[in-house]
Amino acid sequence: MRKKLFVAAVAGVLAALAQADPNAALTRLADGFDFPVGKPNADGYRISRGFTPHGHLGEDWVGQGGSGTDFRDPVYVIGNGVVTLARDFRRSWGNVIVVRHAFMEGGQVKYADSLYGHLDRVLVREGQQVLRGQQIGTIGNAHGLYAPHLHFEVHKNLAIGVVHTMFAGDLSNYYVPSEFVNLHRTLQAGNRLTTVAMNNYVMPTFAGIPALPSMNPGQ
Ligand SMILES: [Zn+2]
């Protein structure tokens, strides 16, 4: 009996330790991915500026109605995941949300980060689990820096975060965002719980205001 109690106690402590690990988080495997605006199919939106390797490392999404008609429209997370960043990067990116996704492809668990930039409002916090189609923010203008649009990226390389300059700006590190969504609309084995790494980004520093040009946020 005592032995059983001891084993139960040890198991409890291990479970608590696992939950307390700041560098890991539980998430649901993605059961598929949708577009981040006009969910699920981007109805009423278009890409105003596409992905270009070594240039614009995401897509800019705007309302079909023209510039400014999409200001403060809802932004949805493209699939199940956990929020790895939800911060205001001021005049480089404005408000940014990054969500980490785990998904099954070819019988293996793969990972991707989706990034939503220039947001007006942020409705989630770091470490929060989010579900496909959940509203996470609103379209913004990066504190007046740009005409309103959503800057949307999908990262293959999970170390990128918001710093583009550390890795080659090509398809070894990035997906073309709309291609990624289109190729993963429905996934097998979704919704199972799994663990993903957290806190693995090298963060930009804000000690000196001119330190940001190296970030190359790509508008
Ligand atoms: Zn952009």
Ligand 1 center–CA 154 separation, angstroms: 12
DSSP per residue over 115-158, as a string? EEEEES-B---TT-EE-TT-EEEE-B-TTTTSSSBEEEEEESST
**pLDDT at position 207, please?**
40
Point out which residues pair with 188 in neighbouring strands.
none
- pLDDT tens by residue, 126-156: 999 999 999 999 999 999 999 999 999 999 9
**pLDDT at position 63, please?**
96
**pLDDT at position 137, please?**
98
| Spatial contact of 108 and 161, defined as CB atoms under 8 Å apart | no
Ligand 1 center–CA 41 separation, angstroms: 20
Ligand 1 center–CA 16 separation, angstroms: 41
**pLDDT at position 146, please?**
92
Segments of the chain scoring below 70 in pLDDT: 1-20, 205-219
**pLDDT at position 98, please?**
98
- Please compute Rg for the chain using Cα positions: 19
Residue-range domains of the chain with CATH: 24-202 (2.70.70.10)
**pLDDT at position 204, please?**
78
